[in-house]
Amino acid sequence: MSCGAAAGLPVVDAITPPVLVLSGPLTRDEVSGPCDALRALLDSGGAEGAAAGVVVCDVGGLGPPGLAAVELLARLQLTARRTGGRIRLRDPSRALCALLDLVGLRFEMEGQPEQREPPLRVQEAVEPGDPAV
């Protein structure tokens, strides 16, 4: 028994990843709570969470970045990878991005182009007297 191809475009469901809101300032003792919350989000996501495997971490409320924030994000990334997922940062400050870059941690950021895609640029207009290139 065979089945013919369906007519039209395939149906694609948009998957919105769950969001873990992080607020601070944090101490080193408070790192386990967000890791447990991340693990619960990845585990309880059901079919959608397993398919996407992404949790967005809103880091806008972390306050001034420090080593506790770096440790938290490193542990969250490790926790996500151990469960087969990954995290994406939302609203990181420039100081936090600089600190993460300084310690060598790379995170996927929400709203930024992927590494393979060049950022969009403004196209320049051609003036009537310009020579052809």
Q: What is this structure's pTM?
A: 0.68
Closest by Cα among 54, 37, 39 to 109: 54
Question: 23 vs 100, which has greater pLDDT?
Answer: 100
Average model confidence (pLDDT) across the chain? 77
Closest by Cα among 104, 115, 92, 90 to 20: 90
* pLDDT over threshold 50, residue 48: no
Q: Where are the domains of the chain?
A: 19-109
- The Cα–Cα gap between 116 and 23 comes to 31
Amino acid 111 reads: G
Q: What is the pLDDT of residues 76-116, one digit of tens each?
A: 999 999 988 899 999 999 999 999 999 999 998 886 655 55
Is the distance from CB of 86 to CB of 108 less than 8 angstroms? yes
Options 3.20.20.140, 3.30.300.130, 3.30.750.24, 3.30.360.10; CATH of 19-109: 3.30.750.24
74: CB partners within 8 A, 6+ apart: 105
